[in-house]
Structure 1
């Protein structure tokens, strides 16, 4: 299927690996001009080189910025210019008890997981509205709806991101701009793979055994999702074909969430 993304300029935050990289790769395959982002210049340069090798001839570039630093984000936006598609993917997560986290920890999570989307959308939605077309997609997660007790900080920030996307969609009424969120399920991203390898090395289990044991009982697919499976849905929402979908939280969760809506 042709997603009609040829010539569209796309920025994907946090895209040197994992879901973000899978999104960038998928959109590059569809003919979009993709701008990759990561925290450091070497990581960005490496990701750009990998993507150019995977999709020969694709117009791929990169911009480094740490979304925990508002000054770096401002500098990135100054050099980015207008885009047709914004994919808010950058985010941080870990498991931590509620009583363990101090105010500074909470502020860091909000700075990256929430304010990244605020700052990018604030700068980029205006030009989209002016030209009458654009896509903003938040890469969310099912903990935004079913907040884990050992990741309250993460669930709370992702719930805020979900609300942000829904509210922004209200500003696009009657235009060709849409704002949507993809609610992903447990995904075997690079970060998850690294964590599982570390845990497996300290226990008498193979990586495959540990990976299987961590699949959620409520999952209907009974496995971790692959980053590409999230990217498939993001790519559709980025395309002109998704014009009727706006203000939505669209699931790619493998059936983990038990609720109808």
Structure 2
């Protein structure tokens, strides 16, 4: 199986580290020109430099913009107006008691995790439909199906992303544009490592903390370990290719078996 994205342009939101950076690297390895996005210009520049080291010959474009705002989304679109592939990866999460989440925090989660993806999809889909080819993906989570009690604000927005993937796929019906959600399981990133340590105890060594987290907070995982970002990227790159031309409107799982169901 050979995935060739030569001649394609992608924008990956929140791609200076973690899952986003792994996706950017994977798309570049397949030949795509990739917009690397983050809020801080210096951090974006460092990420682009690191990705060029990781993927020699990779074509990366720095896209410094806060896509959680309407102005930032416009700025990102101006930097990369010709994206054939849009990966809506931006998201925030934190553990908090459900009764302590106020209106302002609920609004922030929807602005960042949901509306950022909606705005960019509205911007990029018309051109994709016009050229009869495009790939849009919403990076959702198993938390959108099995809402975690310690962060229902996050889980709720990830449920919304599953709906976005299905709804926008219907808008693209009959075209060469596919739209999917990627249902990600617990993944080892810097943010998740901090989250795990906060949840189970910062005094524990990392390997033990990971085991405790999976045993006590994600016992349904069949993988019984955190997923590596590159494993998520492999699925995203496949869905971005011509090989996935019949996969649309789906919630494609890379969750390590966390969701205890035959279908999402």
Q: Which bin holds the TM-score, normalised by the shorter protein?
A: over 0.9
SS at match of 1:150: helix
- Conserved? CA contact 1:67–1:111, under 8 Å: no
Aligned equivalents of 1:193 and 1:97: distance in 2? 20
Corresponding residue of 2:230: 228
The answer for the alignment partner of 1:109 in structure 2 is 109
Residue of structure 2 in register with 1:53 after alignment:
53
- Residues 60-139 of structure 1 aligned to structure 2 (within 5 Å): 60-139=60-139
- Per-residue deviation, 1:224: 0.7
Distance in 2, matches of 1:166 and 1:207, equals 37
C-alpha separation in 2, matches of 1:158 and 1:15: 18
Task: Name the SS of the counterpart of 2:148 in structure 1.
Answer: coil
Superposition map of 1:182-193 within 5 A: 182-193=182-193
Normalising by structure 2, we get a TM-score of: 0.95
CA distance in 2, matches of 1:50, 1:209: 30
SS at match of 1:94: coil
Deviates more, 1:122-131 or 1:210-219: 210-219
Q: Per the alignment, in what secondary structure is the counterpart of residue 138 of structure 2?
A: strand
* Contact 2:5 2:27 survives alignment (8 Å): yes
Give the aligned partner of residue 260 of structure 1.
262
Work out whether residues 66 and 72 of structure 2, in 8 Å CA contact, stay in contact via their aligned partners in 1. yes
Q: Deviations over 1:208-229 (max 9, x none)?
A: 1111111122111111111111
Aligned equivalents of 2:3, 2:133: Cα separation in 1: 15
Q: CA RMSD in A?
A: 1.4
- Measure, in 2, the Cα distance between the counterparts of 1:199 and 1:141: 19
Q: Quickly say closer, same or farther: Cα 1:27–1:259, change in 2 above 3 A.
A: same
**What is the correspondence of 1:206-217 to structure 2 with a 5 Å cutoff?**
206-215=205-214, 216-217=218-219
- Structure 1 residue 199 displacement after superposition: 6.5
Using structure 1 for the length normalisation, give the TM-score: 0.96
| Residues 200 and 207 in structure 1, CA contact (< 8 A), matched pair in contact too | no
Moved more, 247-256 or 210-219: 210-219
CA distance in 2, matches of 1:124, 1:29: 23
Q: After TM superposition, give the deviation of residue 78 of structure 1 in Å.
A: 2.4
Query: How many residue pairs end up in the alignment?
Result: 260
Q: Does the 8 Å CA contact 1:200/1:206 hold for their aligned counterparts?
A: no
The residue matched to 2:262 in structure 1 has which SS?
Answer: coil
Task: Report SS of the residue matched to 1:211.
Answer: helix
List alignment gaps of at least 5 residues for structure 2. none
Q: CA deviation at 1:197?
A: 5.1
Q: Which runs of 5+ in 1 are unaligned?
A: none
Q: In 2, distance between residues paired with 1:125 and 1:9?
A: 14
